[in-house]
Amino acid sequence: MRHCQAVGQEPNAPLTSEGDLQAIALTDLLFGFGIERVISSPFMRAYQSIAPLAERLSLSIDIDNRLSERVLCATPLADWRERLAESFTNLDLYLDGGESSRGAMARGIAVIDEVLQQETSTIAIVTHGNLMALILKHFDDRIGYAEWEKLSNPDVYRIQFLNGETHIKRMICA
């Protein structure tokens, strides 16, 4: 899941008042899915997005730094959208002080691979738009910049692993 609406992009940026309402709506949407574990990016907006559900389910939230948003470049870029689009076709594109798509994807997928080795069957994972799009791309190479651009805050995709097949379904967009 991608976090709810936030006041900014900094790691400590909290949810807006609309984002708080979205987090409650997510709780109502996801409550009946039998979620057994919650894992979140350490960024405040991700944690706050899933906290109401975790509280309602009486679950703790496991923080995993590998779910932090991907940094495209260490310095602001005037053409950042063009460079981001390029990073979905050239997974090894590395901008100064940033992280390649392949590197970001690998750390996100490492979280998924670890949870697949556990007995827990339904897990809520909260991250950020760019990393979520890259995780989805790992399972469906057709996903790219256009799909990232269509993501909303919040956005929820369900990935199911059944009989050796991966099924991806968009569940919600704001």
Q: pLDDT per position in the chain (174 positions), as tens?
A: 999 999 999 999 999 999 999 999 999 999 999 999 999 999 999 999 999 999 999 999 999 999 999 999 999 899 999 999 999 999 999 999 999 999 999 999 999 999 999 888 899 999 999 999 999 999 999 999 999 999 999 999 999 998 889 999 999 765
Q: What is the pLDDT of residue 174?
A: 59
- Closest by Cα among 112, 107, 10, 4 to 50: 4
Residue type, 142: R
The burial of 103, by beta-carbon neighbours within 10 Å (0-12 exposed, 13-18 middle, 19 or more buried), is given as: middle
Q: What is the pLDDT of residue 170?
A: 94
Residue type, 102: R
Q: What is the pLDDT of residue 164?
A: 86
Phi, psi of 61 (to 5 degrees): -105, 120
- Closest by Cα among 81, 32, 41, 76 to 61: 41
- For residue range 132-164, list pLDDT tens digits in order: 999 999 999 999 999 999 999 999 999 999 888
Q: What is the pLDDT of residue 119?
A: 86
SS3 for 141?
coil
Which tokens sit at 142? 């057709």
Q: Are strands 37-40 and 165-173 parallel, antiparallel or unpaired?
A: unpaired
Q: What is the pLDDT of residue 173?
A: 61
